[in-house]
Amino acid sequence: MESLTIRRPDDWHLHLRDDDMLRAVAPESRDFRRAIIMPNLVPPVVTGAEAAAYRDRVIAAGFAEPLMTLYLTEGTDPADVVAAHAAGIVTAVKLYPAGATTNSASGVRDIEAVRPVLAAMEEARVPLCLHGEVTDREVDIFDREARFLDRVLTPLRAAHPGLKLTLEHVTTTEAVDWVRANPGVGATITVQHLMANRNDMLAGGMRPHFYCLPILKRATHQESLRAAATSGDGPFFLGTDSAPHPTHAKESACCSAGCFTAPHALPLLAHIFEEEGALDRLEAFTSLNGPAHYRLPVNDDTLTLEKGAARTFPERIEAHGQSVTLFDPGHPVHWHVR
């Protein structure tokens, strides 16, 4: 049996939802020490007080070290953001273009409307996380990330050069190249975008549990993401974007966007990194680069992955009245967390 011991990983992009769903899925991220918790609830988490209350609910549900975010709206109070960050309540602010993904209707429609918030964040060194897609209906869904780089992110970087940026769940060669060309910018990469491409989702029939936003892209983009993740380079780190939805909402005529990968994210990553001949760089991607980007210490404890017989993962979790189906890569995985 082979084994690999790494520093305890963190998840720099995680959805836990609320209420019964929160209680059902929070324990499934037990392999991670810390996680940046996304704020797109209904209603969204928009103030420091709301973030503090949500943090308490997350801890009570079984995830001990959540790092909270605020949902940026055109009515966000800059002073509240700065105060919440200074108090240690909020780690970052999340920018959702309105309509880009699940529960993003309250997001930003006009970037000029949030300039005062961005300026205050830049001065106070509050990081900004971005869902990097435009939402114009005339832009093809497979091109929305690349268009965002040109239309939104490049001007934003020029106007606020001191603002700490994290481009979330990058999915394209263009995004990887943009991050490499802009020192100081970080990028999270998900398990599903490393594991699969749009053929896996669409060829032979639509597989709803592969559907997420940003959507899976061509195999050539998947190859670029794998090269970035397995390089060990500092700008690239793990953000699972694990996004639970009830099974009935995924297996429907208009399925919800999101892949639930938290319970088996690390075995899947070990599989990917082994395929790429880069197991020695898994720790950088999961445990070192993210803390460096967010100016946080690495975790003191470790986690061991072992390789043995093919692992069978449960099809779904059933807890607190919720049924959530796991992302299934469709092939054997031989790694597991000890």
Round the average pLDDT of the chain to a whole number and report it.
Answer: 96
Structural domains in the chain?
2-337 (3.20.20.140)
Cα 77 to its chain centre, rounded Å, is 25
pLDDT of residue 101: 87
Mean pLDDT, range 112-137, rounded to an integer: 97
Read off the pLDDT of residues 60-89 as tens digits, 9 standing for 90 and up: 999 999 999 999 999 999 999 999 999 999
**Residue 7: pLDDT above 80?**
yes
Share of the chain above pLDDT 90, in %: 96
pLDDT of residue 241: 98
What is the C-alpha to C-alpha distance for residues 252 and 284, in angstroms, rounded to an integer? 38
Active-site annotation, residues: 241
Token pair in block for residue 43: 């209603």
Asked if 61 contacts 22 with a C-beta cutoff of 8 angstroms, the reply is yes
**Residue 275: pLDDT above 70?**
yes
Asked if 26 contacts 63 with a C-beta cutoff of 8 angstroms, the reply is yes
What is the C-alpha to C-alpha distance for residues 215 and 230, in angstroms, rounded to an integer? 21
What is the C-alpha to C-alpha distance for residues 225 and 227, in angstroms, rounded to an integer? 5
Read off the pLDDT of residues 190-235 as tens digits, 9 standing for 90 and up: 999 999 999 999 999 999 999 999 999 999 999 999 999 999 999 9
